[in-house]
Chain A
Amino acid sequence: MELKFRKEDNATVLELSGRLDTSNYESFSEELFAKLEAGDKYIVMDMENLEYISSSGLRVFLSALKQVRATDGDIALCCMSEKINEVFEISGFSSLFKVFVSITDAIAE
């Protein structure tokens, strides 16, 4: 999986691509939590090119959301493919996050 961070307004946009699974959830978690520890409170996950997510990946999302909400921040999800959206819908995770169809909408929120 490839991770790219960039700043847009007061949000940190995180581009995820490829597979988020057993082989890389730890490094994903480390990088994401490093941003949270550094004080980034508004995270936008750009998931347009994310192809697969396992439960371990979902759990990183859950832990990060818990931490960021404790500091009045938030995590928004955007641009999910049909397949990834299905995972978030079936598992009920989409009810925890704000989900947007475009980066612009997510950042505006």
Chain B
Amino acid sequence: MRDYFLNIPEEVALLSVDENGDLHPKMNSPKFDIIIASAVLMDLALHHRIDTDMHNVIPDKLEPLGDPILDVIIEEVKEYGGTRPIQEWISDLSMKGQFLRDEIIKSVVDLGILKVENKKVLWMFSKRVYPMVNDQEVKEVRARIRDLVFSDDIPDYKDIVIISLLKHADLLDLVFTDVEISDYEHRIAQIAKMDMIGLAIGDSMDKFKISDIKSYFSGEEKTPEEMLDIHVKELKEKFRITNDANLPAWLRKGTDQYAKTLDFVREKNTADITYNHRTQEYQVNSYDFNGHGFGSGS
């Protein structure tokens, strides 16, 4: 059982829910995977599971936190075993973006902060929304961040990383008005750079090549092997992975897990998929937070 109520990825996700239960559109972008991955790393740093310097992630105390989201990643850091460039960890974890998004939403629903509803749009289409059941936590986070930025107070590490994430995700409008963002630009920038992982996000974002992932996966006239090759190539390019050995087993040719991945691609006729490390199940990417935890996609 974790000894904190919300982790950093959950706080960021909650900030993105509006009064209608809709998630901010930017959070549905595959680019947001970098933000989620960085939020996880920052949370591990907050709990001293990892340490960082200007370039690297260094393992620290790798005991579990009792947090299903973070513990999966602590295991991965443990398995990796040594110092590794921050960029590589961000790339690696970004590939688990769908898994992490689903787990985050599932967690805040389980905590009773959000609920899941299907809403009719134009009398025909159904859309999933996440109305706030208890908005106390998100109000507190928003107030805390605003108070810090409007003052000269020394920031806490947790607030540094939340501001850094919001800035890099271009989501400051979740907490501030446009005028406030402009008036406090210097203060926000000053706080946002106080974390090494935050600095690495900027670099990842700058080099991120967005190509509409979905367009790659239509699957027309392609064999499952070809579709999966394209998916892996796209992920390698997106996350700047140059060595196939750094791919997760489910995407690495020659592994037993890769054969299972191929079976799933064959079954679903799409390679736009992800693998849930906790449930050990595959799912089709949804890009709308309607993930596996709520019964769609797989």
Q: Is A59 an interface residue (CB 8 A)?
A: yes
Among B52, B193, B199, contact of A54 (Cβ-Cβ < 8 Å): B52
Q: How many residues of A contact B (CB 8 A)?
A: 21
Among A53, A56, A66, A92, contact of B193 (Cβ-Cβ < 8 Å): A92
- Write the nearest CB–CB distance from A55 to chain B, whole angstroms: 4
Q: Are B51 and A56 in contact (CB under 8 A)?
A: yes
Q: Are B45 and A69 in contact (CB under 8 A)?
A: no
A-side contacts of B195, CB under 8 Å: 55, 91
Q: Is A22 an interface residue (CB 8 A)?
A: yes
Q: Mark B190-220, 1 if CB is under 8 A from A, else 0.
A: 1101111001000000000000000000000
Q: Are B190 and A21 in contact (CB under 8 A)?
A: no
Given A93-B194, A95-B190: A22 in contact with B58 (beta carbons within 8 A)? yes
Q: Name which residue of chain A comes closest to B191, CB basis.
A: A92
Given A91-B193, A91-B196: A54 in contact with B157 (beta carbons within 8 A)? no
Among B45, B155, B191, contact of A55 (Cβ-Cβ < 8 Å): B45
Q: Are B194 and A91 in contact (CB under 8 A)?
A: yes
Among A25, A90, A93, contact of B54 (Cβ-Cβ < 8 Å): A90
Q: Name which residue of chain B comes closest to A93, CB basis.
A: B194
Among B58, B193, B199, contact of A21 (Cβ-Cβ < 8 Å): B58
Given A54-B52, A55-B52, A92-B190: A62 in contact with B199 (beta carbons within 8 A)? no
Q: Name which residue of chain A comes closest to B46, CB basis.
A: A59
Q: Is B144 an interface residue (CB 8 A)?
A: no
Q: How many residues of B contact A (CB 8 A)?
A: 20
Q: Name which residue of chain A comes closest to B45, CB basis.
A: A55
Interface core residue of B45, B52, B194, B199 (most chain A CB under 10 Å): B194
Q: Is B48 an interface residue (CB 8 A)?
A: yes
State which residues 81-96 of A face B: CB under 8 Å: 86-87, 90-93, 95-96
A-side contacts of B155, CB under 8 Å: 62
Q: Mark B48-92, 1 if CB is under 8 A from A, else 0.
A: 100111100011100000000000000000000000000000000
Q: Name which residue of chain A comes closest to B42, CB basis.
A: A55
Given A22-B51, A55-B52, A56-B48: A91 in contact with B199 (beta carbons within 8 A)? yes
B interface list, Cβ under 8 A from A: 45, 48, 51-54, 58-60, 154-157, 190-191, 193-196, 199
7 A-B pairs with C-beta separation under 8 A: A22-B58, A55-B45, A55-B52, A62-B194, A65-B154, A91-B199, A92-B193
